[in-house]
Amino acid sequence: MSLPKSVKIVEVGPRDGLQNEKQQISVADKVRLIDDLSNAGISYIEVGSFVSPKWVPQMANSAELFGLIRQKRGVTYAALAPNLKGFDAALLAGVKEVSVFTAASEAFSQKNINCSITESLQRFVPLLDSARQHGVAVRGYVSCALGCPYEGTVAPERVAWVTQELVAMGCYEVSLGDTIGTGTALETRRLIEVVGRMTPRQLLAGHFHDTYGQALTNIFASLEEGIAVFDSSVAGLGGCPYAKGASGNIATEDLLYLLDKLGIDTGIDLSAVIAAGERISAVLGRGNDSRVARALR
């Protein structure tokens, strides 16, 4: 069995993890979380998103965050930018990398961003053009890669097509998202096999929600298929407003424990991430959803 020697973790907790929280989280608490994560050795952190505060009020202070966090050399501080307007706002805030998102499900695309998959891709064209002009890197997300709350099964071939379109536009990496967490290891292998025929695996990442407790098995299957980049969320924070019942992304602590036991290097201090997760969980007034954090505590 051949596994990657090192893995990059994309920490999405400050954005994907907090965006659904109904209670308003202070800027100071968000800054503390982001600084805690970068001090733990995480080299890629999704800080926030430049979307309409009407739809995602928790992300309304993303521009302020970029001015307050202690940006460390060698760490990427990214943001979600769904369209050119969002990208322009991110650019003003000094963001050096953004993410765009679409879906492999037509129904989910309509529910999430009120347009078809093709229309969503067309919206990205001016954004990618502007990003190239300003030297801003762009990462892509494909939601519902292993199932949709409205359509059910999603064909891997459709995921492959959407992924290829994002890469052709200029996304340097595409994260395949099991948004509702229904995927299994065999389905994950099949997905990577099909997508990998059109897009090199070194351009792919995994984004697994743990709704059915399958995220770690799907990550292990992905590792065996040569995937070496995974999104995760400190303390297992998160969910999806358009996928009722979906739990958070795989907890960063749980992913780190697995990788450490496999002898795969991340350069991240697990104990420091656990401490960060404990602090933000206390702010939110609830328990830490990381099994590893609970066990080691």
Cβ count within 10 A of residue 273:
30
Q: Which helix (H) or strand (E) holds 138?
A: strand 137-143
Can you tell me whether residue 60 is helix, strand or coil? coil
Alpha helices in the chain (DSSP H): 27-39, 62-68, 84-92, 106-113, 117-134, 156-169, 185-196, 215-224, 252-261, 270-284, 291-296
CA distance 264 to 260: 6
Among 56, 14, 54, smallest CA distance to 36 is for: 14
Instruction: Label residue 231 exposed, middle or buried (CB < 10 Å: 0-12, 13-18, 19+).
Output: buried
Among 174, 206, 209, smallest CA distance to 20 is for: 209
Residues 131/170, Cβ–Cβ less than 8 Å: yes
Tokens in use for 149? Answer: 């709350």
* Phi-psi label, residue 59: left if phi above 0, alpha if psi -120 to 50, beta otherwise: alpha
Note if 240 is an active site residue: yes
CA distance 221 to 271: 26
Considering the candidates 144, 148, 171, 240, report the single residue annotated as catalytic. 240
Can you tell me whether residue 15 is helix, strand or coil? helix
Q: Would you name the residues annotated as active-site residues? A: 240
